[in-house]
């Protein structure tokens, strides 16, 4: 065992030394004085979300529901997407046509999952989402209909995500509350996305696309 690990374990033992053996975590009330409910108007929340997502160098558009299919097709043309990964449950009426838009749709199904090679060779993925958080410009996926497996949003270079206005909450705490029950029941993994994948080395040289899509586009849909 390394000296560093020994030091860490020793500090943990010392911290727990005064805790009675019969005490359980649920016996202690944790103070939660932070804001748990937003107070902005719905329009302000959506505008804040759009602004914060844009700050992460993602492309953001606010779209009327009736124009969504056309905007998606145009985004695929602009980004040069010829092979598009589609999760199970994604609304078919929103998808570009194979012939008209020169896009080949790669459907990922529970019984017929796409291989990692197929995902890596694709040009992009399109998904819905479970929730958006305006405070941090974060998109949350929970593997629901139209979102698919976590790997679908990790390997393709381009992620086109559809967020409905009514899915956007103001605060991070509201987002956590929304998924509390699913976490307690140990449901599917929950993914938090704040902008395109990016990291930097010790010299602060920014590199994009290391841990996920290098390009993120978000379409905020108004019904």
Indicate which CATH number applies to the domain containing 85. Answer: 3.40.50.10420
Report the distance separating Cα 171 and Cα 132, nearest Å.
9
Residues 193/137, Cβ–Cβ less than 8 Å? no
Instruction: Say how many domains are in the chain.
Output: 1
Is residue 6 in a domain?
A: no
Is residue 1 in a domain?
A: no
Is residue 17 in a domain?
A: no
Residue 23 burial class via C-beta count within 10 angstroms: exposed 0-12, middle 13-18, buried 19 and up: exposed
Q: Give the Cα-Cα-Cα angle 55, 135, 39 (nearest 5 degrees).
A: 140
Is residue 66 in a domain?
A: yes
- pLDDT reading at 14 higher than 90: no
| pTM, 2 dp | 0.83
**Residue-range definition of the domain harbouring residue 185:** 35-222
Among 61-75, 171-185, 189-203, whose mean pLDDT is lowest?
A: 189-203
Report pLDDT for 185: 84
Is residue 2 in a domain?
A: no
Is residue 198 in a domain?
A: yes
């Amino acid at each position: 065992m390394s000296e560093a690990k020994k030091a860490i374990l020793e500090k943990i033992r010392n911290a727990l030394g005064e805790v009675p053996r019969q005490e359980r975590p649920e016996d202690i009330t944790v103070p939660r004085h932070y804001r748990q409910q937003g107070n902005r108007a719905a329009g302000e929340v959506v505008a804040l979300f759009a602004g914060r997502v844009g700050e992460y160098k993602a492309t953001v558009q606010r779209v009327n529901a009736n124009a969504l299919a056309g905007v998606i097709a145009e985004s695929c043309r602009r980004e040069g997407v010829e092979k598009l990964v589609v999760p199970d449950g994604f609304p078919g009426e929103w998808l570009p046509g194979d012939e008209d838009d020169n896009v080949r749709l790669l459907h990922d199904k529970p019984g017929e999952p796409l291989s990692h090679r197929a995902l890596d060779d694709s040009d992009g993925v399109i998904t819905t989402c479970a929730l958006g958080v305006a405070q941090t410009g974060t998109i949350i996926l929970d593997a629901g209909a139209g979102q698919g497996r976590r790997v679908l949003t990790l390997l393709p270079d381009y992620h086109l995500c559809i967020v409905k206005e009514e899915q956007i909450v103001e605060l991070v705490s509201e987002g956590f509350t929304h998924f509390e029950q699913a976490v307690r029941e140990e449901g599917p993994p929950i993914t938090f996305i704040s902008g395109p994948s990016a990291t930097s080395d010790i010299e602060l040289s920014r590199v994009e696309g290391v841990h996920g899509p290098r390009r993120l586009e978000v379409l905020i849909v108004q019904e």
